[in-house]
Structure 1
C-alpha cells in the first residue's frame, strides 16, 4: 500500500479526493493514493472538514487525531492519523481498499 506510511506519531495517508460527489465513501487505490469521494463541496474548507470527520469516524478516533498535513487546496492530500497503527488502519479499510 504505497498510500500508507508509518510514522512515530501514527500513520500518514496519501489521498486523492473527489469533492462534490453524491456520497462520501472510500473508492480504493488510485495510482499511489487512496481515492475518497466526498459529498462536501470544495469551498471554504468544507471538503477538508468533511474528510477529517469521515476518517475520524472510520477509524474510531477523535477529530483531533486526524490532521491534513499537505495539500490543503489540492485534490491530492496527505493526512496524518494519530493513535492508530498501520495494521489497525489496514483492517478498517481493507474491505474498501484492497492492496
Structure 2
C-alpha cells in the first residue's frame, strides 16, 4: 500500500506507526512510510487506539467519527481510513520532521 491509497466510497487508507506512553500526544513525521502518532495513553483496553483516532482526526481537521481504525488494533502498526478530502493535510503531516 502506498502512503495513502484510494479506497471505495471517497476514502483513503494510510499506515500509522504508534508510539504509546509518550510524554505528550503529537502527530507528524513518518517512519518507514507510515504517519507517526505519539499518544500519552497506554496500550491498555483500547485507550491508545481511541487516542490515536482522536489525535489523527484533530490533526487532519476532521470529526472523530471520520477517522476509522481498519487494521492493527493490537500492534504499533495500524491502518486508518479518512475522507479523501484529507489527503493534502495527510501529506503535510507526513512531510513534517
Compare 23-32 and 43-52 and name the one that shifted more: 23-32
Partners of 1:26 and 1:96 within 8 A in 2? no
Matched, 1:84 2:85: yes
Which protein is richer in helix relative to its size?
A: 2
TM-score, normalised by the number of residues in structure 1: 0.82
CA distance in 1 between partners of 2:4 and 2:84 (Å): 15
TM-score, normalised by the number of residues in structure 2: 0.83
RMSD between aligned alpha carbons?
1.9
CA distance in 1 between partners of 2:27 and 2:89 (Å): 16
Matched, 1:5 2:28: no
Are residues 69 and 27 of structure 1, via their aligned partners in 2, closer, same or farther at CA, if it must alter by over 3 Å?
same
Unaligned runs of 5+ in 1: none
Please identify runs of 4+ aligned residues in structure 1 that moved more than 4 A. none
1:45 aligned residue: 46
The aligned length equals: 95
Are residues 31 and 88 of structure 1, via their aligned partners in 2, closer, same or farther at CA, if it must alter by over 3 Å?
closer
